[in-house]
Amino acid sequence: MIIRPDYWQSVYTGSTEVELTDQKRSYDVVVTTECHDLGHWNAIRVPDAVFAEVASACVAFVDGVRRIDMHGIIDGNPPYYGVFGSVAAGCMQMSGAHAHDTMNALRGEVVKHYFVTNAPDPDMKTVNLVSDPSCPFDVQYEIHPSTSHDPADFGQELNNLMQELEHRVAQDQVDRPDVQAVITDGPIPYEHQLAAGTGKLAGIIKNVQEAYLQHDQFATVLHLKQAERTPLFEIRYPDSSGSSKMSFFLRLREVTAFGSAMANLVRVELPVMGLTEAVHLADLASAIAVHYSSNLWGDTRAPQNLYPVGALETALKNRLGDQRFLRSVIMRTLAAGDATPRPASPFQA
């Protein structure tokens, strides 16, 4: 298998057509999970005692990053395509209200490099980059056959590989008896079975784009004040058994003048568990999110992008390596391995 560079670089889309799709799974929402009387389905203030608990709790914030380093083409009839991609995951472990050193707080970081391709039955397992005296470590891209033949899905394939690393890191943190809560940046996957029933795991969705609730209940969302959440509700996906999850909306900061009623909102997801356990975790996750919420002067995604998550993203991106350097070494590696003569053009004299 001879891989050649696709000179339409990843800052664009590569030399393949990209189709935009909008496929959403059907679901049902049960709004009476915590509050059985819809006439009293009102905002819930996070208790002060839970904020005191957060001040001394050990919390693990889990996130991942991914990047397309370069596109590749495997010549043939038909040709096949691929992307060189890097993914990483890890966690920031925060204990108490004191200042933390980023490098000491970073735990369990994992970095992987993949060549995702739609080529059937690739005849090699890795692409080992040529040695470079300026690079203190060896890099290899694992060949990963894509589950989709469409090159437009390669980015999603990388995202799935990143999520696998995130799940591994999250499970390691859940299994630690000294960790009181594990907060993932983003939704809990639909088929997620990780840590169900432990009362530790919560996922924070910082970009609220779907209401889930009907008019009367969503009116409660719009009128939330700082450190207030909605009652728990359950999201059920009938097309897949065991994929239900609990959720609620939370306001991190007060809405300022000229701000939208959707400002400073997050949605939080929990695995399905007993109600008493879920209510405590909902309050604990809410207090953690409010406590670690960021300020606009330091983060354009504030306050939803929590401080530990922002620091984790920066650290993980550094772990991926310099993209321009990796692209140059990938190009040299592909050139060194390309000894196949090109067929003569029929238009040459």
Tens digits of per-residue pLDDT, 307-328? 999 999 999 999 998 888 888 8
Looking at residue 206, its amino acid is: K
Q: What average pLDDT does this structure show over 265-270?
A: 96
The reported pLDDT for the residue numbered 266 is 97
| Number of other CB atoms surrounding residue 159 within 10 Å | 15
Token pair in block for residue 318: 């550094």
| Number of other CB atoms surrounding residue 59 within 10 Å | 25
Question: Is residue 18 pLDDT above 90, yes or no?
Answer: no
Question: Is residue 302 pLDDT above 50, yes or no?
Answer: yes
Q: Read out DSSP for 134-151?
A: T-SS--EEEEEE-S-S-G
Kindly state the percentage of the chain with pLDDT values over 70: 85
Which range, 3-7, 298-302, 305-309, is most confident? 305-309
The reported pLDDT for the residue numbered 136 is 58
Q: What is the pTM assigned to this prediction?
A: 0.88
**CA-closest candidate to residue 184, choices 159, 201, 199:** 201
Q: What is the 3-state secondary structure (H, E, C) of 180-249?
A: CEEEEECCCCCCCCCCCCCCCEEEEECCCCCCCCCHHHHHHHHCCCCCEECCCEEEECCCCCCCCEEEEE
**With b meaning 16 or more CB within 10 Å and e meaning fewer, what string describes 248-269?**
bbbbbbebeeeeeeeebbbbbb
Which range, 195-204, 235-244, 254-263, is most confident? 254-263
Average pLDDT, the chain: 86
Question: Is residue 66 pLDDT above 90, yes or no?
Answer: yes
Q: Please give the residue that has the higher pLDDT: either 1 or 35.
A: 35
Q: What average pLDDT does this structure show over 232-248?
A: 82
For residues 149 and 79, what is the distance between their CA atoms, to the nearest angstrom?
Answer: 12
Specify the 3-state DSSP secondary structure of 19: coil
The reported pLDDT for the residue numbered 287 is 97
Handedness of CA 318, 324, 329, 333 (dihedral sign): positive
Is residue 60 within 8 A of residue 182, CB to CB? The reply is: yes
